[in-house]
Structure 1
Amino acid sequence: MSLNLFIAVACVVAAILLTIATVRFFFSARKPQVQDAFKDQPADVRASAGDTLRTRRSDNRESIALLTRQLVVSAILTLLVLLPALVRVLYPNVVPDWMVDPWVQAIIITPVMFYSGAPIHIDGWDALLRRMPNMNSLASIGTIAAYAYGILVCLFESALPQAMREPYFEVTGVIITLVLFARWAVDMWLPRRPAFPLQERVDRVSRVWVPITILIALWTFICWLIFGPQPSFTRALLMGVSVLIIACPAALGWAAPLSAGAALDDAQRYGLTVRTTSALQQAKDTSAVLVARELAPSAEQAIAQLSGTGVAVAKVDARRTDEAVRALTERRANGATVMFIGDGSEDVRVRDAANIAVACVALDNPEAAPIHADVIAAPTDYACALKLIRLSKATMRNICENLWWAFIFNLVGIPLAAGVLYPFTGWVLNPMLACVAMILSSICVVLNAVRLRHCKLDGAW
């Protein structure tokens, strides 16, 4: 057996063992350690780097301020690396050599990696150790791989082929900046609790997607190491890193929060204050609306409109708490998604018994708003249920479009990054192009979310 064949067999055996270990670790029968995504900390505990992703305070200002600083530092330093690199590609003679020197880029991007990226790494690896990998896990792995490859280029630039001397530090900065912006958008625009239910589904998908991506990167490395052109090791390393880079879910992290944020702004313009994102998601499935009897005489027109859409509408005496709770519970027991509309004076148990509780009250004093109400509407806005249902349908459709866009980007990008076209065309995906594609993908998600601002809730749309 030749030495090369022995090395190839050893690499394949090692890859198989790593694959088995990965599958057993992430998909074993043992139940993973579940941890609430929004864990409060005492107000007297100082914010740390990990707080911006792992914890939410009842007073979240310090945590948001820390996240904002990290985002600003990341954005500025990333631009200092990204812009010269892009200009150098388009106009090679314009940018001086020192501006794209690997060591200069390493110095600039290191604070992004270890200061701005700290919450991503902390949250991502914490999730990995709990066998519940999330999108931060993939972002952390991708940025570590890109940063480590960049340091390798700095140390051994002269030993690498000319085509493999690009350090790709800008990729590290772009990923961290986009992921931090997604987190910042969630903190700034969305209600603090509870977590967006659809985002929780994305997290469940990521628990499968992340290990699969790691395995794809592993086998990409092995295939290029065995079958790739010389120098096979460095080229295989670059291809494996490319898979991890392009799989980073920048656009995926924006999909739900940006759409939900735009929807909340739209709701405000129509006099609705949505206090829980779960209401925004569930309203589209509303099959029954129970209206407090005190409001019914003034809401006949709105009730007729709702009935015309196929939603069952009933009146309930909210002052008789037990009777109202029983009526709501019976509807839910039959599988219906129930919305309750009251004036805010009813017992909390009545609002808790519904999937979605709407209070028609004046909001001159926000502190006096009814607790446990998912949505606050104006005292005379009896069409609020129809508006909320329309907004929910438009929002969920918009989020699904964003999620599909993000997943298609990954489904197309990962095979290209793995080099499936190389045997036929000799072409491999440059991580710089992947970085640009990632930015364009995120811009598309933003533009699609902005479309929600033109959603008409009081007429046909």
Structure 2
Amino acid sequence: MAVLYIIVAALITAALLWFFFAPQKGGKTTVTGHTQHIDVEVNGGYSPALIQAEAGKPLTIHFDRKETGECTSHVVFSDLGIDATLPGNRTTAVTLPPLKAGDYPFACGMNMIHGMLRVSGETQSDNLASVSEHERNLEHNLLAERATNSANAADSNSTRERDAEIALLKKKFLIGMIFTIPVFVLSMASMFWGQNLPTWLTSPWLQAILVTPVMFYTGWDIHRIGWNAIIHRNPEMNALVTMGTTAAYLFSWVVTVIPQALPLNARHAYFDSVGVVLTLVVMGSLLESRARAGTGDAIQALMKLRPDAALVITEEELRNESWKLPQVGRSISIADIKTDDLVKVPGGDTIPNDGKIVAGIAHVDESMITGESKPVERTLGDFVTGGTMALDAPLVLRVTHTGSDTVLSQIVQLVSSAQASKAPVQALADRIAKIFVPVVFTIALWTFTLWLSFGPQPQLTYALTTAVTVLIIACPCALGLATPLSVTAGIGVGAKNGILISSAQALENARHIKTVVFDKTGTITEGKAEVRDASDGTISYASDPIKSSSPAAIAELKALGIRTIMLSGDKAETAERVAREAGIDTVISEVKPDGKAFWISHIQSQVSSAASKHLVAMVGDGINDAPALAQADLGFAMGTGTDIAMKSADVTLMTGELNGVARMIRLSRVTMRNIHQNLGFAFGYNIIGIIIASGLLYPLTGWLLSPMIAGLAMSLSSVSLITNASRLRAVDITQSRVTFDSSSTSTNPQVIIDDSTHSQQGELMFEFLKKKSAHTDIEDGLEHVLTDPVCGMSVTQDQNPFAYGDKAYHFCSEHCLETFKSNPAQYAK
């Protein structure tokens, strides 16, 4: 019989492996004109799970979600930075931009249910110059859509759905408790005092009647999702639980109805295990839903910064200063505000949109955007950001950006895209999770077979108990949640501290930074120029003072064991002075306009031989640093969250202060430590749990797990991961262990003079723009990259345009624009 059992198990194993790993038939998109679309059903899995699409055409996927619950409430395209909310029992359209040929995986928000978008064919998107205007416009519109999708977590409909789900889980858990406790008590009583109890109390019929509501009400969603996941050949946690509890439930009914069909010593019912396991799983889902409700806190907090309405005034009210009267101003919905509208912001109110101050002076609390608690004085001509607060006086601003074009909306988009992206460390967990459930099924099958063949009496009881326990204790949810929970929390912490991280990969890699290269002007220094010659308007940055916070920030980096380098176009003596005062290790002076990216590449080639994890970061302050930011392993953009700052770097430091670099490195280290803890727990839990559950240690120790203990451990494993990841939200990355002494910052830096020309700069600029054009709404090719006629820096067409003669000129700053206006004939040459 043992040989027969083994042969049957081998055949079933082969069938299982074929069922789960054989190529699946994909669904092809329907092409209409320039667009394509497809319907995908979400019900315990994605059907079809493989989408075959054409390259170079926008794609709309209609997700028809026929269920509720936390697991499939989101769909995440990590490679595209898209995280879309899928309301329960509704169809949601998710639009993707034209894509290049390749595979684009997608998964549920808990990373347990997976699908694949396979794009094939040729696309004009491979050539930047041939991208159509239609595609660029679509890409621009999709930025707004992504921000809207990411904000859906804070939408009232989504909130109501989650509240309803939590209420339903509470009800199911209560029903499970009411019926399971008597079954559990009766089971224990029968075990210890069975001979002294009435027969009707020890009868399995009573347990069967009590546990059936638990099986089919409390556990209904578990079974429905689990069986659907198996049918879709994409099983997950629910599939394991439903297989284990169904096996125990059916076997217990055999014991109840036809006990004579079983050996005398195998007539033990497991109704108590069924009830306890399902109730505990629902309890785990309830705790998990509550814990995960705060996952989108960073995005929700940002969205709540913007008020619902604003006070609009007229041009006449601005001119006659009647706007200062409290009763002046017409309240309108923020959705109705248009560019160039005049908006009045009373003292103590939140600024509704980005704009330029045209009247009033006030201290503005920008901490919600920059992370800096100290208010900043803003006056006539200054730009302010929607979501900040005018503290002590009223202001009037002329709206410059609305809707998805505002800094706040772009921050939401950036944070959402980063949280939807996937860290490289997750690749191993994903590969294991993909094959985990079929492997567990196989282990459970062979556990049953070997115990039935060679185990002690009662063999069938031992075989069934161990197989069910293996199915229940194995929890792929832990593997799926280990990384994304920590990444989401870490990126949220960064956003609250004025550090905008563009991807999970940037968050992971920052801990390996060993060299930081700084631009000088506007990064280490304040960027203040002086007129060298009044007659021709020549300007100089030779006396540009360093930022007061720069020395302390450099000292923090040195304490972290990081080498610091500064790139400067100034003469050696000027660059050396700035580097000495700031505490920089090495300064490269007289850097040519085309030399920054060259030096980054040169530094990378030097350090790469020393260590495939010694990364080089570049810190710059604008479009002129874009090639160097793109060349560096990690690019940090200084500034106040302008479009180009966020699009040219991996990290944007909203405060404009260098201490954000050290904070980012500390955040990366603590986040990755948290991820490794989660992964270690998830792998260790599953390996140890399966070993004990299968009975491998039984011959040596006599250890076996009951299905009830397995169910409790399985439920608590995911909750433990969530709790550990949630600890990141309390991390203070602003605290440095370095006690800064301003008197000790002076150092003698190594001075290098750049005496070369670097012709590869133009090519690097083109590669940067080509790379960015696939992911942003920047309309640039080489013909759109212009030169500021005053300072010679690279600028784009949308930067400070000014018409002179029959030509438009563009400037990196208003200072250069004003200098040009003072003597346009000279600079126009």
Q: What is the TM-score of this pair, normalised by structure 2?
A: 0.45
Q: Does 1:242 align with 2:476?
A: no
Instruction: Tell me if the contact between 1:139 and 1:249 (Cα under 8 Å) persists in the aligned partners.
Output: yes
Taking structure 1 as reference, are residues 419 and 378 closer, same or farther at Cα in structure 2, changes over 3 Å only? same
2-structure distance, mates of 1:289, 1:361: 18
2-structure distance, mates of 1:51, 1:153: 31
Deviation of residue 108 (structure 1)?
1.0
Name the structure with the higher strand share.
2
Structure 1 residues 20-419: aligned runs within 5 Å: 42=60, 46-47=64-65, 52=73, 55=76, 56-57=83-84, 58=146, 59=149, 61=152, 68=162, 72=166, 75-76=169-170, 78-84=172-178, 87-88=181-182, 101-113=210-222, 117=225, 122=229, 128=234, 137-149=235-247, 151-153=249-251, 155-156=253-254, 158=256, 159=258, 161-166=267-272, 168=274, 171-172=277-278, 175=281, 181=289, 191-207=418-434, 209-228=436-455, 232-233=459-460, 235-294=462-521, 295-297=523-525, 298=547, 299-316=550-567, 323-332=595-604, 334=608, 335=612, 336-346=614-624, 348-363=626-641, 370-419=646-695
2-structure distance, mates of 1:81, 1:348: 60
Deviations 1:63-110 (A, max 9, x none): 9679847953773355235534674488669xx978982221122135
Q: Does 1:459 align with 2:736?
A: yes
Deviation of residue 396 (structure 1)?
1.1
2-structure distance, mates of 1:432, 1:426: 18
The residue aligned with 2:7 is: 13
Q: Which secondary structure state, in structure 1, belongs to the residue aligned with residue 595 of structure 2?
A: helix
1-structure distance, mates of 2:464, 2:515: 57
1-structure distance, mates of 2:681, 2:461: 32
Q: Which secondary structure state, in structure 1, belongs to the residue aligned with residue 484 of structure 2?
A: helix
The residue aligned with 1:3 is: none
The residue aligned with 2:344 is: none
2-structure distance, mates of 1:394, 1:221: 43
Taking structure 1 as reference, are residues 73 and 338 closer, same or farther at Cα in structure 2, changes over 3 Å only? farther
Taking structure 1 as reference, are residues 448 and 52 closer, same or farther at Cα in structure 2, changes over 3 Å only? closer
The residue aligned with 1:131 is: none
Which residue identity does 1:255 align to in structure 2? A
Deviations 1:106-164 (A, max 9, x none): 2213541256x37x954x77675xxxxxxxx3424312313422551575350463343
1-structure distance, mates of 2:712, 2:295: 24
2-structure distance, mates of 1:154, 1:239: 15
The residue aligned with 2:33 is: none
2-structure distance, mates of 1:220, 1:35: 33
2-structure distance, mates of 1:27, 1:153: 29
Which residue identity does 1:15 align to in structure 2? A
Q: Which moved more, 1:182-191 or 1:52-61?
A: 182-191
Deviation of residue 459 (structure 1)?
1.6
Instruction: Tell me if the contact between 1:153 and 1:167 (Cα under 8 Å) persists in the aligned partners.
Output: no
Name the structure with the higher helix share.
1
2-structure distance, mates of 1:305, 1:408: 36
Deviation of residue 419 (structure 1)?
2.6
Instruction: Tell me if the contact between 1:74 and 1:173 (Cα under 8 Å) persists in the aligned partners.
Output: no
Instruction: Tell me if the contact between 1:275 and 1:374 (Cα under 8 Å) persists in the aligned partners.
Output: yes
1-structure distance, mates of 2:283, 2:647: 36
1-structure distance, mates of 2:501, 2:671: 13
Instruction: Tell me if the contact between 2:447 and 2:463 (Cα under 8 Å) persists in the aligned partners.
Output: yes
2-structure distance, mates of 1:269, 1:232: 59
Q: Does 1:430 align with 2:706?
A: yes
1-structure distance, mates of 2:180, 2:568: 66
Q: Which moved more, 1:205-214 or 1:407-416?
A: 205-214
Taking structure 1 as reference, are residues 80 and 8 closer, same or farther at Cα in structure 2, changes over 3 Å only? same
Taking structure 1 as reference, are residues 239 and 287 closer, same or farther at Cα in structure 2, changes over 3 Å only? same
Deviation of residue 41 (structure 1)?
6.5
Aligned residues: 438
Deviation of residue 218 (structure 1)?
1.9
Taking structure 1 as reference, are residues 172 and 286 closer, same or farther at Cα in structure 2, changes over 3 Å only? farther
Identity %: 26
Tell me the C-alpha RMSD between the 2 structures.
4.5
1-structure distance, mates of 2:253, 2:184: 27
2-structure distance, mates of 1:41, 1:155: 50
2-structure distance, mates of 1:70, 1:437: 26
Name structure 1 gaps, 5 residues minimum.
1-6, 129-136
2-structure distance, mates of 1:317, 1:125: 63
Deviation of residue 281 (structure 1)?
1.0
Instruction: Tell me if the contact between 1:224 and 1:236 (Cα under 8 Å) persists in the aligned partners.
Output: yes
Which residue identity does 2:618 align to in structure 1? F
Name structure 2 gaps, 5 residues minimum.
27-48, 52-57, 77-82, 85-145, 188-200, 260-266, 299-415, 526-546, 570-590, 739-829
Q: Which secondary structure state, in structure 2, belongs to the residue aligned with residue 370 of structure 1?
A: helix
Q: Which secondary structure state, in structure 2, belongs to the residue aligned with residue 101 of structure 1?
A: helix
2-structure distance, mates of 1:260, 1:275: 12
For the pair shown, the structure with the greater C-alpha radius of gyration is 2
Q: Which moved more, 1:251-260 or 1:388-397?
A: 251-260
1-structure distance, mates of 2:215, 2:182: 17
